[in-house]
Structure 1
Amino acid sequence: MLRPEATRLEVWGDPVAHSRSPQLHAAAYQALGLDWTYDRRRVTAADFPRELAGLSDRWRGLSLTMPLKGRAFQASARRDRRAELTGAVNTLLLAGDGPRGFNTDVGGIVRALEGEGVPGLDRARIVGAGATAMSALVALSELGANRVEVVARRSAAIEPLAGLGATIGVEVIGVPFDAPAHTETPVTIATLPGDAAVPAAAADALAQRGGLLLDVVYGHWPTALADAWERADRPATSGLGMLLHQALLQVRVFVTGGTDEALENESLVLAEMQSAVVGD
């Protein structure tokens, strides 16, 4: 059960000063006519349990960024399927029967790719094998992919993705960065940090057969991979679309209690959220 009197929300992470979530959520609640507050707080992984336990009944929910998605997963009394598959929770609804955990990153990727004209695909590529790659793999599966190439520096890092792939029916193929050639693919999702160093030769090789690039980074733009895609005259988009759509799904959670029910005048809400971050 939702707490009808609860009106406080925050985004937690470390670091968190760069987060655009406050702008996105403030625009949404203003458009919905809700007098809710949404702030940011720097919270370390070690401090997370204490900070969560200290919240009063005035708190409606939390958005979580790194390094707290695993901690939030552990703290959830119930989780949606996407969270269960990825082991990551980026949204906590502080319901009366215990925190409910959601992963809206998966839906954010799906909607961002659909917005770029990718309604479905049978194969794709992920660059990087960290936590965000898990969400990317589930998103690609939902779009129809049954074969995903994962480019990573360490072959051992691919093992969790291969295990997840076996669960959801996706063949995961590990490929090193310095592979002499890559297969043609319609979509590449880059999950590396924005300041990650990528050798120009490796980036160019990926771009030549990489299709559309969705780079989850939005703060350090363009990235090394985005530059390579530009040199190859291939389409590339930042993670701003993913950020926007995962935030809209978070708003659904905080307002309706889940991700499935659309908001009242949702197209207007989404437009206001987009206006709040475009040009920042």
Structure 2
Amino acid sequence: MPPRSAAVLGKPVGHSLSPVLHRAAYRALGLTGWRYTAIECDEPELAGLLDRSAEDVVGYSCTMPLKRQVLRVAASASPAATAIGAGNTLLRTPAGWHADNTDWIGIRDALAAASVPVSGRVAVLGAGGTAQAALAALAGGTAPRQVQVLVREPSRAAELLATAGRLALPVTVAPLADPEQWLAADLVIATLPPGAADSYAGLPFSNRQALLDAVYTPWPTPLAAAFAAAGAPVVSGAAMLLYQAARQVELMTGSAAPVEAMRAALRAAVPGCAA
């Protein structure tokens, strides 16, 4: 396979671990000459960057603030990206740039790898793009589940509710500050920014619950430590990051992702991240 290139786009993007994961995959796959870089790009700049992309570019990973803009500039989009209302991947095709979303796969596969069942009562904390991806990870399947979204301002959950509607996933919305909602959940998926859930770490969680916290550094978060102290299974956001990147590698290279090589690289870059 001739050398190709890819990159992660976003602003700021210097903190992104995508280069660590994708470069590790290229080495393990023997893709000599393949390059993966990080490019600063804001929403108004995305369309122009795509137009100027060199012919050897196979795709882009897209982080904040581009995830909704991805759908506006792409010539086509996967059903998942369309339903979620955001994308994190752009792939070059003969018909133009194609948008996809692998964040939901990252959540789904991280929970599955930890043998955490997606059933019963699930609380999703937050209403941003990661929360929308979490709804896609919860949609479908045969296990019965009740999904509740906990947000600071229920009036700001319109985009999340639109995602739920497109996924045909019944959800209810409740205040984030209601501790009864936290404690009633069998699974908590926290998509809040670093530090935003720290004040809830004092709640009396139990070992019948489980947590996926999208934050991965510093790890463990106070919330993750509280769940672990209660004997509850805890999944780090690093695992979610790993599995979403693995799917991107597959989409961009056409080869099965070398997950263990990518995991080792992630652990070396972020010691203690619990990938």
Is TM-score (shorter-chain normalized) higher than 0.5? yes
| Alpha carbons 1:128, 1:190 under 8 Å: kept | yes
Question: Whole-Å Cα distance in 1 between the matches of residues 62 and 144 of structure 2?
Answer: 28
Aligned equivalent of 1:91, options 89, 92, 107: 89
Per mean C-alpha deviation after superposition, the further-off stretch among 168-177 and 150-159 is 168-177
Change beyond 3 A, Cα 1:62–1:79: same
**Could you say which residue in structure 1 is the equivalent of 2:175?**
176
CA distance in 2, matches of 1:62, 1:207: 40
Task: Kindly report which structure 2 residues correspond to 1:27-66, keeping only aligned pairs within 5 A, or say none.
Answer: 27-35=24-32, 36-66=34-64
1:227-246 aligned at under 5 Å gives the runs 227-246=225-244
Contact 2:207 2:232 in 1 (8 A): no
Distance (Å, rounded) in 2 between the aligned partners of 1:24 and 1:199: 28
Q: Deviations over 1:172-218 (max 9, x none)?
A: 1212122251253221111011132x463x44338458821111111
1:116 corresponds in structure 2 to 114
Residue in 2 that maps onto 1:127: 125
Q: Distance in 2 between matches of 1:11 and 1:153?
A: 31
CA distance in 1, matches of 2:198, 2:239: 26
| 8 Å CA contact retained: 1:146, 1:170 | no
Q: Unpaired runs of 5+ in structure 2?
A: 270-275
Alignment of 1:97-246 (within 5 A): 97-143=95-141, 144=143, 146-182=145-181, 184-196=184-196, 198=197, 200=199, 202-205=200-203, 207-208=205-206, 211-246=209-244
Alignment of 1:17 with 2:6, yes or no, is: no
Q: Normalized against structure 2, the TM-score is what?
A: 0.88
Instruction: Tell me the number of residue pairs that the alignment of Structure 1 and Structure 2 aligns.
Output: 266
Q: Secondary structure at the match of 1:47?
A: helix
Instruction: Please list the CA deviations of residues 138-187 of structure 1 after superposition, one character each: whole Å capped at 9, or x if unmatched.
Output: 10114545421111100112233233323323221212122251253221
Between the aligned partners of 1:137 and 1:145, the Cα distance in structure 2 is 14
Alpha carbons 1:215, 1:237 under 8 Å: kept: yes
1:273 to 238, 262, 270: 262
> What code does the residue aligned with 1:164 have?
T
Task: Tell me, in whole angstroms, the C-alpha distance in 2 between the residues paired with 1:137 and 1:43.
Answer: 27
Moved more, 240-249 or 227-236: 227-236
SS at match of 2:251: helix
Report the counterpart of residue 246 of structure 2 in structure 1: 248
What CA distance in whole angstroms lies between the structure 1 residues aligned with 2:149 and 2:115? 22
Residue identity matched to 1:166:
G
Corresponding letter in the other structure for 1:160 = E
Residues 190 and 206 from structure 1, CA distance in 2 versus in 1: closer, same or farther, beyond 3 angstroms? Answer: farther
Identity of aligned residues (%): 35
Q: Kindly state the Cα deviation for residue 231 of structure 1 after the two structures are TM-superposed.
A: 4.5
Partners in 1 of 2:126 and 2:229 — Cα distance? 21
